[in-house]
Amino acid sequence: MLGKLEKVDLRKIWNHEAYDFTTWLSRDENIKILSDELGIDINVLQTEASVGSFNVDILAEELDCDRKIIIENQLEKTDHDHLGKLITYASGHNAEIIIWIVKEAREEHKRAIEWLNEYIDEKINFFLIQVELWKIGDSAPAPKFQIISRPNDWAKTIKHASDSGKLTNAKALQLEFWESFKEYVEENGQKFKLRKPRAQHWFDIAYGNAASHLTVTVDTRACAINCMIYIENNMDLYHKFYQNKEQIEKELGFSLEWAEMSGKKASKMYITKNNVDLEDRDSWPDYFSWIVGKLEVLRDVFTKYI
């Protein structure tokens, strides 16, 4: 029997734009939802970033490109005031990607964003995004971002960039690395179900627990690879793991870094491989072997404590 989707009033979950919604969106696991919808990696730099006597809700950057991003939130219908602020914030931070997240977009503001994308410098990209909350029965509400207006041919640009290699050097290298990693896992019969690789610095892998997942990250600046258990919005689970830290690490056969990340409602336990040169493709099989070995042990041990 199928459930029925029910729309949830945004204000029941996020009563205050700045204190509730902006704080929620700025967390890693939530900004990632928006990143996936737009096809770019958003790294939050600051909330309530000042521009003169005004504050933009979120100042961010595109990972590995350093393009500045501003995000203005409005849990109501669009209005002229917020549109004006959006342009003020963009100029104040020299942003190239401008995102306006709203409850509902008026037709005149949708046309205004389309006009800006048509006639402003092609380096500047405006997005009008509608946010919604949905649930099924008594389930927890789930957020959905819907793109109302975006730069001309944005979807084609993202797809073409992925297909043709017209990404930044760092992004292209990340995509190639994950594609090769997926091939390695499949060729060696490893029991991981991997999704389609994307040009980003992380790769998430489910391991049978909805509240957490395995994650691999590559950090080209720190020359490191991290394998981890990443927990989203479940501090009780983190504390349950932490109470068994000594026994878990004994079973793993190695120590972990334990990061509670207080205030982000996310936490992680990870091990790092240093002195990694991602451009050294001859070393990739060794990196893949290390990653798979650590993921297998993390999966097998942590599953016991869920």
**pLDDT score of 117:** 87
| Architecture of the domain defined by 167-303 | 2-Layer Sandwich (3.30)
DSSP letter for 281, please: G
The arithmetic mean of pLDDT across residues 136-141, rounded, is: 88
**CB-based contacts of 198, cutoff 8 Å, min separation 6:** 162, 175, 178
Which residues are within 8 A (CB) of 191 and not within 5 positions of it... i.e. 6 or more apart? none
What one-letter code names the amino acid at 9?
A: D
d(CA 144, CA 37): 9
Task: Enumerate residues 6+ apart whose C-beta is below 8 A from 164.
Answer: none
Residue 132: pLDDT over 80 = yes
pLDDT of residue 185: 92
Question: Tokens representing 257?
Answer: 């870094």
- For residue 104, which of 136, 72, 79 has the smallest C-alpha distance? 79
Query: 37 pLDDT exceeds 90?
Result: no
Which residues, listed in sequence order, are joined to residue 73 by a DSSP beta bridge? 101
**For residue 73, what are its two tokens?**
């939130």
Q: Report the share of the chain in percent with pLDDT over 90.
A: 55
Per DSSP, the three-state class of 174 is: helix
Highest average pLDDT, of 41-55, 168-182, 220-234, 245-259, comes from 245-259
The sign of the dihedral angle between the CA atoms of 55, 58, 63, 69 is negative
> Which neighbouring-strand residues pair with 59?
46, 70
Distance (Å, whole) CA 236 – CA 81: 42
How many degrees, rounded to 5, is the angle at CA 264 between CA 262 and CA 270? 75
Q: Where are the domains of the chain?
A: 5-160, 167-303
* Interacting residues of 286 by C-beta distance below 8 A, sequence separation 6+: none
**Per-residue pLDDT averaged across 260-268, rounded?**
73
- Residue 131 to residue 133: CA distance in whole angstroms: 7
What dotted CATH number matches 5-160?
3.40.1350.10
Handedness of CA 207, 288, 274, 248 (dihedral sign): positive
Q: What is the CA radius of gyration of the chain?
A: 21
How large is the average pLDDT for residues 118-136?
88
- Average pLDDT of the chain is 87
